[in-house]
Amino acid sequence: MTKRSTGRADFSMGDALGAGFRLFRRQPVAVLGWGALHMLLALGAWFVLIPFLRDISFMTMGSEAEVERINAMVGFQAAIWALNLAQLAITLVVWTAAMRATLKPGRTDPFLFLRAGMDEVRVGVMAVALIAGFYAFILLVAVLGAAFGFALFAMGEAAAVSGVFLYGVLVLAVILVGWSRLSLLMPAAMITGGFAFEEGWRIGKGRTAKLVGLNLLLLLIYYVAAILIVGLLGAGLVGVFLATGGVWPSDPQTLDDVFQAFRPMAPWAALALLVMIPFSGWLIAFWAGALTTAARQLADGALPPESARDAAEPSR
């Protein structure tokens, strides 16, 4: 943690951005385990959904009749709901594990820091509250934007276009600043052991610009890394497909016809999936570690001792 001359708590941008790398170095098995959970979910989604989709005809795909046929499949709808719930649950558990591991840099854990306890409940409730608040904000922005746009159109098309553009820029700025402050709430909950809405907001006071910069850097690094890895793996799979004599079916009638053409690629796809495991785990460690490190350093100087749970003993 660093402090400026004002005495206000600060955080190190370098420490935050490097937290994911340190976490991977200190807890490689845990990070790989988190990545494996995410990849298993993706693999499970493939095996669950493909039986429902393989018979869809390209001739009728997207037609009202085909959409109604899919919607009528109770099993398909149940699978979609189950996958969504599983994704939310695994994301919640893995992210809390990454935050827990960041707060315990010198500790090993046979369960990869994965828990199903009150930390997960608190973080889950706070995530739901943030999502609900975000949708309420978007609804309000849409209503105000529509009213603002209609009022400007009465003044002329040029004024309306300029005004709506400026309104959109303002909304994006508010979302970015708001998210940057709110991004500390869930790490603060792990630190304090409570529903840290107030504490998470308070520790970012006076550091809004720096938090915006941190979140922009996280977004930039995340997307650049994802595009590079996914692009390289995709190009590699296409190259292998072509090098092994793979040919796109001349007249595919259903998705199953396409699947059959790519069946020989299964071992290579499995290899790509294995490569994605450490990358997926690192992304989790990178993002969660950065925000948790920033929150930890800010909380050390912004919260009274009775508000901060000892980081050496996070709840299980």
| Tens digits of residue pLDDT in 34-81 | 999 988 887 877 777 777 666 666 555 555 656 666 665 666 677 777
Q: Is residue 4 part of a domain?
A: no
DSSP 57: B
Comparing C-alpha atoms, which of 121, 127, 133, 126 is closest to residue 178?
133
Q: Is residue 313 part of a domain?
A: no
Q: CA 78, CA 249: separation in Å to the nearest integer?
A: 32
Q: Is residue 3 part of a domain?
A: no
Helix, strand, coil tally for the chain in percent (to 5): 75, 0, 20
Which residue matches tokens 């429902």? 52
One-letter amino acid of 268: W
**CB crowding 19-32: b at 16 or more within 10 Å, else e:** bbeebbebbeebbb
Q: CA 78, CA 40: separation in Å to the nearest integer?
A: 19
pLDDT reported for residue 282: 93
Q: Is residue 312 part of a domain?
A: no
- Domain extent, residue 180, equals 12-307
Number of neighbouring beta carbons within 10 Å of residue 130: 17
Return the axis-axis angle of helices 64-72 and 74-103, rounded to nearest 10°.
Answer: 70
pLDDT reported for residue 154: 78
Q: Is residue 7 part of a domain?
A: no
Comparing C-alpha atoms, which of 245, 290, 279, 79 is closest to residue 70?
79
Q: Is residue 119 part of a domain?
A: yes
Q: CA 178, CA 200: separation in Å to the nearest integer?
A: 12
Contact 190, 294 (CB under 8 A): no
Q: Is residue 242 part of a domain?
A: yes
Angle at 230 between CA 226 and CA 236, to 5 degrees: 150
If one counts the domains in the chain, the total is 1
Q: Is residue 2 part of a domain?
A: no
Q: CA 104, CA 87: separation in Å to the nearest integer?
A: 26
Mean pLDDT (10-residue bins), the chain, 316 residues = 56 93 93 92 77 63 60 68 84 94 88 92 94 94 88 79 88 93 94 91 91 95 93 90 79 72 82 90 94 92 52 43
pLDDT reported for residue 5: 41
pLDDT reported for residue 101: 95
Q: What pTM was estimated for this model as a whole?
A: 0.82
